[in-house]
Amino acid sequence: MTDTTLLAPIELSDDDSDELIFVSSVKLGKRKSSDSPKPRKALKQTSLQAAPVTPTADRSDAAKAQLIQLGQSPGSGSFAIHPHIFDLEAAFTRKAAKPIIKPPDLDLLLFKPLMTPEGCSKVYSYLLNELPWYKVKYTVRKGIDIVTPRYTTVFGQDDTKTQALSRYKKRPRPIPYLLEELKRHVESISGATYNFVLCNFYSDGKDSISWHSDDEAFLGPQPTISSLSLGGARDFYIKHKADGTDKHHFSLQDGDLLVMRGKTQERYLHSIPKRAVARPRINITFRRAINTYGTDNYYKYNVGDGPIYRFRDGKMCLADSTD
Ligand SMILES: O=C(O)CCC(=O)C(=O)O
């Protein structure tokens, strides 16, 4: 028998997780809220620091090669990733997935959890400390600028795998070894393949992602997107684009993997709203872009043209040239 959950509608708070809007660098307010805007505070020191990762003495050739490969990334600053390789196999729970479906549109699979607490802690610590992070600012209309309310970073290249790099606005970056290993495992259990890994870092409850769907044409029809949560729990909301009563929410906790399939992106919006208090959290989404528009889009909105941030001494800091 299939363990199928038919969701009952629930009430959503409309505490939306809006991006801050700036007009010609002067802040206007939030996108969907009538609240008067408050200045964005500097990041506080965060308390969630996972146990340090002990690098194995014997790094794999693939990881070593990648350290060299990742050394430069024109358009997004230069950075290096120092691979701490550990046995990921032991990090997975092998728990079966719970389907969450509402025919004909909602089609989710929830692995609760996919990863052990120890595995989560190692991967969280590695990603937070080793990846280059960005705080992307972009323009939606002339004079209207948005600052993404979380840190982001992305790796991968679309299906064309073109070597004619001049076709891209930014040079695609190879997927770091550990994320590639994670991707492989997620592919094997979700039955889909991916060529992009997008990471979000929500430093506290003020960080969020507003209502959206990942339904861009460059993902092809009915894309499968898998989303792994590490660190602090956050509420995940999903609502039907046409039927206002069809709303659901659940808590995504350390190690949970949510797979969104079928018509989910076409028919539903999802969000992680702001909260008064929330522990730091990393979210990793695995996606597949079929053409170069996908690559340009993902680097534009997850790397951008601003500086690199590094997580140092418990907080995000602007990286200096030696970092
Ligand atoms: O953080 C999450 O769980 C959701 C992330 C998301 O929706 C996205 O990156 O498009």
- Read off the pLDDT of residues 261-308 as tens digits, 9 standing for 90 and up: 999 999 999 999 999 999 999 999 999 999 999 999 999 999 999 999
For residue 130, report the phi and psi dihedrals to the nearest 5 degrees: -105, -25
CATH of the domain spanning 107-160+194-309, picked from 3.30.9.10, 2.60.40.1260, 3.30.200.20, 2.60.120.590: 2.60.120.590
Across 49-67, average pLDDT: 41
Q: What angle do CA 12, 282, 189 make, to 5 degrees?
A: 90
Residue 171 near residue 47, CB atoms below 8 Å: no
Query: Is 202 labeled as ligand-binding?
Result: yes
Q: Whose CA is nearest to atom 2 of ligand 1?
A: 283
* Choice from 148, 153, 200 to test ligand 1 binding pocket (greatest atom count within 8 A of CB): 200
Distance 285 CA to ligand 1 centre (A): 7
Residue 222 near residue 287, CB atoms below 8 Å: no
Distance 322 CA to ligand 1 centre (A): 31
Distance 226 CA to ligand 1 centre (A): 10
Mean pLDDT of the chain: 81
Per-residue confidence at 32, pLDDT binned at 50, 70, 90?
Answer: very low
Query: Is 283 labeled as ligand-binding?
Result: no
Per-residue pLDDT at 320? 80
Tokens of 11: 């009430």
* Choice from 260, 265, 270 to test ligand 1 binding pocket (greatest atom count within 8 A of CB): 270
**pLDDT above 90 for 30:** no
Task: State percent of the chain over pLDDT 70.
Answer: 73
Q: Is 25 exposed, middle or buried (0-12, 13-18, 19+ CB in 10 A)?
A: exposed
Comparing C-alpha atoms, which of 30, 26, 15, 36 is closest to residue 205?
A: 15
Per-residue pLDDT at 322? 60
Query: Is 270 labeled as ligand-binding?
Result: yes
Residue 116 near residue 88, CB atoms below 8 Å: no
Q: Whose CA is nearest to atom 8 of ligand 1?
A: 285
Q: Return the SS3 of 145.
A: strand
Q: Is 301 exposed, middle or buried (0-12, 13-18, 19+ CB in 10 A)?
A: middle
Whole-prediction pTM value? Answer: 0.81
Backbone Cα Rg of the chain:
19
Q: 195-204 pLDDT, tens per residue? A: 999 999 999 9
DSSP element (H, E) containing 5:
strand 5-6
Cα separation, 15 vs 17, whole angstroms: 7
Q: How many angstroms separate the Cα of 143 from the Cα of each of 26, 151, 164, 182?
A: 10, 23, 33, 40
Across 60-82, average pLDDT: 50
- Ligand 1 lined by 214 (C-beta under 6 Å): yes
For residue 119, report the phi and psi dihedrals to the nearest 5 degrees: -60, -45
Q: Whose CA is nearest to atom 1 of ligand 1?
A: 283
Helices (H), 219-320: 264-267, 292-302
Q: 216-226 pLDDT, tens per residue? A: 999 999 999 99
For the chain, domain boundaries = 107-160+194-309
